[in-house]
Amino acid sequence: MSLLLALELLLLLLALPRLSCRSTSNSTQPSLDRQAEALLRWKAGLYIRGTYDLDSWTKGTSPCDYWTGVTCSNAVLPRGGDQGDAALVVSNISLAEFGLEGRLDRLYFADLPHLVHVDLSYNYLLGPIPSSIGVLTNLVYLDLSNNRLNGFIPTSIDLPHLVFLNLGYNHLSGGIPSSIGALAKLENLYLSSNDLNGSIPTSLGNFTKLTSIDLF
Protein backbone atom coordinates (compact mmCIF):
# COMPACT_ATOMS: atom_id res chain seq x y z
CA MET A 1 0.00 0.00 0.00
CA SER A 2 1.42 3.39 -0.94
CA LEU A 3 2.01 6.01 1.72
CA LEU A 4 -0.43 8.36 -0.01
CA LEU A 5 -3.22 5.76 0.01
CA ALA A 6 -2.57 4.96 3.66
CA LEU A 7 -2.86 8.64 4.59
CA GLU A 8 -6.13 8.95 2.64
CA LEU A 9 -7.60 5.94 4.48
CA LEU A 10 -6.51 7.35 7.83
CA LEU A 11 -8.18 10.68 7.11
CA LEU A 12 -11.37 8.89 6.07
CA LEU A 13 -11.45 6.85 9.28
CA LEU A 14 -10.93 9.97 11.38
CA ALA A 15 -13.85 11.64 9.60
CA LEU A 16 -16.33 8.80 10.15
CA PRO A 17 -17.18 9.47 13.84
CA ARG A 18 -17.74 13.11 13.04
CA LEU A 19 -20.09 12.32 10.18
CA SER A 20 -21.99 9.83 12.33
CA CYS A 21 -22.35 12.36 15.13
CA ARG A 22 -23.68 14.96 12.72
CA SER A 23 -26.26 12.56 11.33
CA THR A 24 -27.45 11.52 14.79
CA SER A 25 -27.68 15.11 15.99
CA ASN A 26 -29.77 16.15 13.00
CA SER A 27 -32.17 13.24 13.45
CA THR A 28 -32.84 14.09 17.10
CA GLN A 29 -33.80 17.71 16.44
CA PRO A 30 -37.62 17.97 16.48
CA SER A 31 -38.99 19.58 13.33
CA LEU A 32 -41.38 22.52 13.47
CA ASP A 33 -44.19 20.13 12.53
CA ARG A 34 -43.32 17.96 15.52
CA GLN A 35 -43.29 20.99 17.79
CA ALA A 36 -46.74 21.92 16.47
CA GLU A 37 -47.99 18.38 17.10
CA ALA A 38 -46.82 18.55 20.71
CA LEU A 39 -48.85 21.73 21.24
CA LEU A 40 -51.92 20.33 19.46
CA ARG A 41 -51.86 17.15 21.56
CA TRP A 42 -51.77 19.27 24.70
CA LYS A 43 -54.58 21.52 23.44
CA ALA A 44 -56.75 18.46 22.76
CA GLY A 45 -56.78 17.68 26.49
CA LEU A 46 -57.54 21.23 27.63
CA TYR A 47 -60.82 22.81 28.64
CA ILE A 48 -60.81 26.60 28.39
CA ARG A 49 -62.86 28.43 30.99
CA GLY A 50 -61.92 31.96 30.04
CA THR A 51 -62.95 34.34 27.29
CA TYR A 52 -59.85 33.54 25.24
CA ASP A 53 -59.50 30.58 22.92
CA LEU A 54 -56.87 28.62 21.03
CA ASP A 55 -58.84 28.38 17.78
CA SER A 56 -55.80 29.55 15.84
CA TRP A 57 -54.00 26.35 16.87
CA THR A 58 -55.05 24.15 13.98
CA LYS A 59 -53.50 21.15 12.26
CA GLY A 60 -51.82 21.96 8.97
CA THR A 61 -50.83 25.48 10.00
CA SER A 62 -47.53 26.68 11.39
CA PRO A 63 -47.29 27.68 15.08
CA CYS A 64 -45.20 30.59 13.84
CA ASP A 65 -48.18 31.99 11.90
CA TYR A 66 -50.35 33.76 14.44
CA TRP A 67 -50.95 30.94 16.89
CA THR A 68 -52.32 32.66 19.99
CA GLY A 69 -49.72 32.91 22.74
CA VAL A 70 -46.95 31.32 20.67
CA THR A 71 -43.86 33.07 19.34
CA CYS A 72 -41.12 31.64 17.16
CA SER A 73 -37.56 32.72 16.57
CA ASN A 74 -34.59 31.67 14.50
CA ALA A 75 -32.24 29.20 16.14
CA VAL A 76 -29.06 27.63 14.87
CA LEU A 77 -29.54 23.89 15.25
CA PRO A 78 -26.35 22.00 16.17
CA ARG A 79 -24.88 19.45 13.81
CA GLY A 80 -22.35 17.37 15.71
CA GLY A 81 -19.30 19.51 16.37
CA ASP A 82 -20.24 21.99 13.65
CA GLN A 83 -22.57 24.94 13.55
CA GLY A 84 -25.77 23.92 11.80
CA ASP A 85 -28.45 25.68 9.82
CA ALA A 86 -30.80 28.38 11.09
CA ALA A 87 -34.42 27.30 11.47
CA LEU A 88 -37.65 28.62 12.95
CA VAL A 89 -38.46 27.09 16.34
CA VAL A 90 -41.12 27.64 19.01
CA SER A 91 -39.39 29.81 21.60
CA ASN A 92 -42.17 31.45 23.63
CA ILE A 93 -45.46 30.22 25.13
CA SER A 94 -47.40 32.97 26.93
CA LEU A 95 -50.89 31.89 28.03
CA ALA A 96 -51.28 33.54 31.43
CA GLU A 97 -54.90 33.96 32.60
CA PHE A 98 -56.35 31.97 29.70
CA GLY A 99 -58.55 29.84 31.93
CA LEU A 100 -56.78 26.67 30.83
CA GLU A 101 -57.86 23.52 32.66
CA GLY A 102 -55.92 20.33 32.03
CA ARG A 103 -52.71 18.52 32.85
CA LEU A 104 -49.34 20.20 32.50
CA ASP A 105 -47.56 16.84 32.20
CA ARG A 106 -49.31 16.25 28.87
CA LEU A 107 -47.28 19.08 27.39
CA TYR A 108 -44.34 17.12 25.98
CA PHE A 109 -41.41 19.46 26.56
CA ALA A 110 -39.00 17.02 24.88
CA ASP A 111 -40.50 18.12 21.54
CA LEU A 112 -40.14 21.81 22.46
CA PRO A 113 -36.46 22.02 23.46
CA HIS A 114 -35.88 25.57 22.18
CA LEU A 115 -38.28 27.31 24.56
CA VAL A 116 -36.87 30.47 26.13
CA HIS A 117 -40.00 31.86 27.82
CA VAL A 118 -42.94 29.96 29.33
CA ASP A 119 -45.75 31.74 31.18
CA LEU A 120 -48.75 29.56 32.08
CA SER A 121 -49.60 31.38 35.30
CA TYR A 122 -53.13 32.00 36.63
CA ASN A 123 -54.78 28.98 35.03
CA TYR A 124 -56.23 25.71 36.33
CA LEU A 125 -53.44 23.36 35.34
CA LEU A 126 -53.25 20.06 37.21
CA GLY A 127 -50.76 17.28 37.80
CA PRO A 128 -47.03 17.31 38.43
CA ILE A 129 -44.35 19.40 36.79
CA PRO A 130 -42.91 16.88 34.30
CA SER A 131 -39.27 15.91 34.68
CA SER A 132 -38.94 16.44 30.91
CA ILE A 133 -38.75 20.15 31.70
CA GLY A 134 -35.05 19.46 32.16
CA VAL A 135 -34.56 19.46 28.37
CA LEU A 136 -35.30 23.20 28.24
CA THR A 137 -31.68 24.22 28.56
CA ASN A 138 -32.32 27.58 26.85
CA LEU A 139 -35.16 28.56 29.19
CA VAL A 140 -34.79 32.00 30.78
CA TYR A 141 -38.28 32.63 32.20
CA LEU A 142 -40.65 30.08 33.78
CA ASP A 143 -43.90 31.09 35.51
CA LEU A 144 -46.28 28.29 36.52
CA SER A 145 -47.70 30.13 39.52
CA ASN A 146 -51.35 30.21 40.58
CA ASN A 147 -52.37 26.83 39.21
CA ARG A 148 -53.27 23.52 40.84
CA LEU A 149 -50.02 21.68 40.27
CA ASN A 150 -49.05 18.97 42.74
CA GLY A 151 -46.23 16.52 43.35
CA PHE A 152 -42.58 17.32 43.90
CA ILE A 153 -40.47 20.01 42.27
CA PRO A 154 -38.42 17.94 39.80
CA THR A 155 -34.67 17.82 40.35
CA SER A 156 -34.29 18.32 36.59
CA ILE A 157 -35.25 21.98 37.00
CA ASP A 158 -31.56 22.95 37.28
CA LEU A 159 -31.71 24.87 34.00
CA PRO A 160 -28.48 26.76 33.28
CA HIS A 161 -29.93 29.98 31.82
CA LEU A 162 -32.99 30.41 34.05
CA VAL A 163 -33.32 33.97 35.40
CA PHE A 164 -36.94 33.95 36.64
CA LEU A 165 -38.69 31.02 38.36
CA ASN A 166 -42.16 31.27 39.89
CA LEU A 167 -43.92 28.11 41.10
CA GLY A 168 -45.87 29.83 43.86
CA TYR A 169 -49.54 29.30 44.76
CA ASN A 170 -49.85 25.66 43.77
CA HIS A 171 -50.07 22.41 45.75
CA LEU A 172 -46.46 21.30 45.38
CA SER A 173 -45.16 19.12 48.20
CA GLY A 174 -41.91 17.65 49.46
CA GLY A 175 -38.67 19.50 49.89
CA ILE A 176 -36.94 22.14 47.83
CA PRO A 177 -34.50 20.19 45.64
CA SER A 178 -30.86 21.06 46.15
CA SER A 179 -30.49 21.17 42.36
CA ILE A 180 -32.17 24.60 42.38
CA GLY A 181 -28.90 25.88 43.82
CA ALA A 182 -27.31 25.16 40.44
CA LEU A 183 -29.31 27.96 38.80
CA ALA A 184 -26.30 30.23 38.50
CA LYS A 185 -28.13 33.02 36.63
CA LEU A 186 -31.28 33.07 38.75
CA GLU A 187 -32.44 36.54 39.85
CA ASN A 188 -36.03 35.86 41.01
CA LEU A 189 -37.23 32.77 42.90
CA TYR A 190 -40.80 32.34 44.16
CA LEU A 191 -42.02 29.08 45.71
CA SER A 192 -44.40 30.39 48.39
CA SER A 193 -47.95 29.20 49.15
CA ASN A 194 -47.32 25.53 48.41
CA ASP A 195 -47.12 22.52 50.73
CA LEU A 196 -43.34 22.39 50.77
CA ASN A 197 -41.54 21.15 53.85
CA GLY A 198 -38.09 20.33 55.08
CA SER A 199 -35.04 22.52 55.44
CA ILE A 200 -33.75 25.08 52.99
CA PRO A 201 -30.96 23.47 50.94
CA THR A 202 -27.52 24.90 51.62
CA SER A 203 -27.01 24.98 47.85
CA LEU A 204 -29.23 28.07 47.73
CA GLY A 205 -26.27 29.89 49.18
CA ASN A 206 -24.64 29.53 45.77
CA PHE A 207 -26.83 32.25 44.28
CA THR A 208 -24.80 35.31 43.35
CA LYS A 209 -27.34 37.22 41.23
CA LEU A 210 -30.52 36.70 43.26
CA THR A 211 -32.45 39.93 43.89
CA SER A 212 -35.85 38.58 45.04
CA ILE A 213 -36.82 35.38 46.86
CA ASP A 214 -39.94 34.02 48.58
CA LEU A 215 -39.81 30.37 49.61
CA PHE A 216 -42.65 29.77 52.07
pLDDT tens for residues 130-141? 999 999 999 999
**Residues ≥6 apart with Cβ < 8 Å to 102:** 42, 45, 46, 47, 124, 125, 126
**Residues ≥6 apart with Cβ < 8 Å to 26:** 77, 79, 84
Side chain identity at residue 133, one-letter code: I
Query: Using CA atoms, how far apart are residues 164 and 159, in angstroms rounded to an integer?
Result: 11
Q: Which residues of the chain have pLDDT under 50?
A: 1-27, 81-82
Q: What is the pLDDT of residue 26?
A: 43
H helix or E strand, kind and range, residue 12: helix 3-28
Q: What is the pLDDT of residue 81?
A: 44
77-112 per-position pLDDT tens digit: 665 544 556 789 999 999 999 999 999 999 999 999
Q: What is the pLDDT of residue 9?
A: 39
Query: Using CA atoms, how far apart are residues 72 and 35, in angstroms rounded to an integer?
Result: 11
- Global pTM reads 0.83
Cite the DSSP H helix spans in 29-100.
32-44
Average predicted confidence (pLDDT) for the chain: 87
What architecture does CATH give domain 28-214?
A: Alpha-Beta Horseshoe (3.80)
Ordered by start, the domain boundaries in the chain are 28-214
DSSP 143: E
